Amino acid sequence: MTAPTYTRASALPQILARRIVVLDGAMGTMIQRRKLGEAEYRGTRFADHPKDLKGNNELLQLTRPDVILDIHEQYLRAGSDIIETNTFGATSVAQEDYGLAHLAPEMNLAAARLARQACNAFGTPDKPRFVAGALGPTPRTASISPDVNDPAARNVSFDELRDAYREQAEALLEGGCDLFLVETIFDTLNAKAAIFALDELMEATGERLPVIVSGTVTDASGRILSGQTVGAFWHSVRHARPLAVGLNCALGATLMRPYIEELAKVAGDTFISCYPNAGLPNPMSETGFDETPEVTAGLMEEFARAGFLNIAGGCCGTTPEHIAQIAQRVGRYAPRCQHATGLLTQLEAA
Instruction: Kindly report, residue by residue over 213-270, the tens digit of the pLDDT.
Output: 999 998 888 899 988 999 999 999 999 999 999 999 999 999 999 999 999 999 988 9
Residue 120 inside a domain? The answer is yes
Q: From CA 246, how far away is CA 115, in angstroms rounded? A: 22
Q: From CA 94, how far away is CA 103, in angstroms rounded? A: 11
Residue 75 inside a domain? The answer is yes
User: In this predicted structure, which of 75-89, 279-293, 335-349 has the lowest mean pLDDT?
Assistant: 335-349
> Quick one: what percent of the chain has pLDDT higher than 70?
96
CA neighbor of 83 nearest in space, from 129, 30, 122: 129
Q: Which domain holds residue 186?
A: 12-349
* DSSP tag of 336: P
Confidence of residue 124 (pLDDT cuts 50, 70, 90): very high
Calculate the dihedral angle through the C-alpha atoms of 302, 305, 311, 312, rounding to the nearest 10 degrees: 20
Distance between terminal CA atoms of the chain?
A: 12
pLDDT recorded at residue 338: 54
Q: From CA 298, how far away is CA 1, in angstroms rounded? A: 35
pLDDT recorded at residue 50: 97
Confidence of residue 346 (pLDDT cuts 50, 70, 90): very low
User: In this predicted structure, which of 12-16, 142-146, 345-349 has the lowest mean pLDDT?
Assistant: 345-349
pLDDT over 70 at 297, yes or no: yes
pLDDT recorded at residue 208: 97
What are the distances in angstroms from CA 224 to CA 21, 192, 275? 25, 14, 16
Q: From CA 145, how far away is CA 125, in angstroms rounded? A: 49
pLDDT over 50 at 314, yes or no: yes
| Beta-strand runs (E) in the chain | 21-22, 82-84, 130-135, 179-185, 211-215, 244-252, 271-277, 311-312
User: In this predicted structure, which of 147-156, 285-294, 307-316 has the lowest mean pLDDT?
Assistant: 147-156
Residue 2 inside a domain? The answer is no
pLDDT over 90 at 282, yes or no: no
Q: Which residue has the higher pLDDT, 64 or 3?
A: 64
Looking up residue 269, the CATH number of its domain turns out to be 3.20.20.330
Residue 65 inside a domain? The answer is yes
Residue 309 inside a domain? The answer is yes
Query: What's the mean pLDDT when you consider all of the chain?
Result: 93
pLDDT recorded at residue 237: 96
pLDDT over 60 at 175, yes or no: yes
Q: From CA 62, how far away is CA 59, in angstroms rounded? A: 6
* DSSP tag of 239: G
pLDDT recorded at residue 1: 52
String of DSSP letters for 42-58: HTTTTTT-SS--TT-GG
b (16+ CB within 10 A) / e for 114-138: bbbbbbeebeeeeebbbbbbbbbbb
**Helix, strand, or coil here: 23?**
strand
Sign of CA dihedral 69, 56, 169, 314: positive
Residue 7 inside a domain? The answer is no
pLDDT recorded at residue 286: 76
What are the distances in angstroms from CA 269 to CA 214, 245, 264? 15, 10, 10
Sign of CA dihedral 53, 55, 59, 64: positive
Total count of domains within the chain: 1
Residue 85 inside a domain? The answer is yes
User: In this predicted structure, which of 101-110, 223-232, 341-350 has the lowest mean pLDDT?
Assistant: 341-350
Residue 4 inside a domain? The answer is no
pLDDT recorded at residue 191: 97
Q: At what angle do helices 230-237 and 188-205 cross, to 10 degrees?
A: 20
Confidence of residue 30 (pLDDT cuts 50, 70, 90): very high
Q: From CA 36, how far away is CA 32, in angstroms rounded? A: 7
pLDDT recorded at residue 344: 47
Whole-prediction pTM:
0.94
pLDDT over 60 at 108, yes or no: yes
Task: Tell me the sheet residues that pair with 204.
Answer: none
